[in-house]
Chains A and B, each alone.
Chain A
Amino acid sequence: MITYFFIFLAVLAIASALAMVISKNTVNSALFLVLNMVALAGIYLLLQAQFLAIIQILVYAGAIMVLFLFVIMLLNLDEEESLFNAFRVKYFVAFLLGVGVFSQILYSLGSFSDSLPTVSSKMAQVGTVEAVGDVLFTQYLLPFELTAILLTAAVVGAILVAQHKVRTETDHD
């Protein structure tokens, strides 16, 4: 049963990722990415990471993708008439590079997978909010606080980069 669920979610994730890359409309791309993230959240549930599955939907599929959709609709983009880069040679080389990286990862995966130990059932309860929060607020407290500073800096920097020039009148004085 879990296997069928995994196959369904994996096919959904791969298909939506491919559809995101090849879709012509940018809004459709963003919505396919949301679908991909929801499928990945389901896969996180299969891995017994309940906390991160919820966070994935809240932060990624909620906040970040809404930001993307806002920007897409703010810029009011037309559909691209030529979807990919002009040089077909470049396109071909990109495909070869992607396939090369994938086969390399699969090769290293195959040569290491025998050395992995099997997980015991009592150690599987690691993904609950309790377990993650326990480690996050004791052992990783300083990085957690630094994350707050990082997010503040990102918000201030984004406002500075994206704002209009507001001080044009005072420049003439």
Chain B
Amino acid sequence: MISIDWFLALSALLFCIGIIGVLIRKNAIVIFMCVELMLNAVNLSLLSFSSHYGNVDGQVLVFFSLAVAAAEAVVGLAIIIAIFRNNLSVDISKINLMRW
């Protein structure tokens, strides 16, 4: 039986790779995929606590988080398409209309 610490460390590492990806990449779609990666990392830590304590509530929370992630992906990709139609770019350094 693997200790829960390893699952939590893997979750933390994936979350931080997601953070670094969001901070350094320019392509809006890749940034979006990094957000999905961070959501997955949080799901992993919820699941590891859930099976560690033998409590099913964490798995139900992961289920709802999956549904919210699906809704978020749909709306976010629609926004990216709308921006691309006006701007012909998904480069976030070129999308600066509302920048002060």
Contacts and interface: CB of A to CB of B under 8 A. Distances in A.
A119 interface: yes
Interface in A35-49: 36-37, 40, 43-44, 46-49
A20 B33 contact: yes
Q: Bin chain A's interface residue count.
A: 35 or more
Interface of A is mostly: helix
Q: Bin chain B's interface residue count.
A: 35 or more
A52 B30 CA distance: 25
Contact of B74 (A40, A126, A127, A154): A154
B10 A14 contact: yes
Given A105-B15, A109-B12, A135 B20 contact: no
Contacts, number: 225
Given A127-B51, A162-B82, A109 B8 contact: yes
Given A75-B84, A98-B16, A113-B5, A85 B26 contact: yes
Interface of A: 2-3, 6, 10, 13-14, 17-18, 20-21, 26, 29-30, 33, 36-37, 40, 43-44, 46-49, 51-52, 55-56, 59-60, 63-64, 67-68, 71-72, 74-75, 77, 80, 82-86, 90-91, 94-95, 97-99, 101-102, 105-106, 109, 113, 116-117, 119-120, 123-124, 126-127, 131-132, 135-136, 140, 143, 147, 150-151, 153-155, 157-159, 161-162
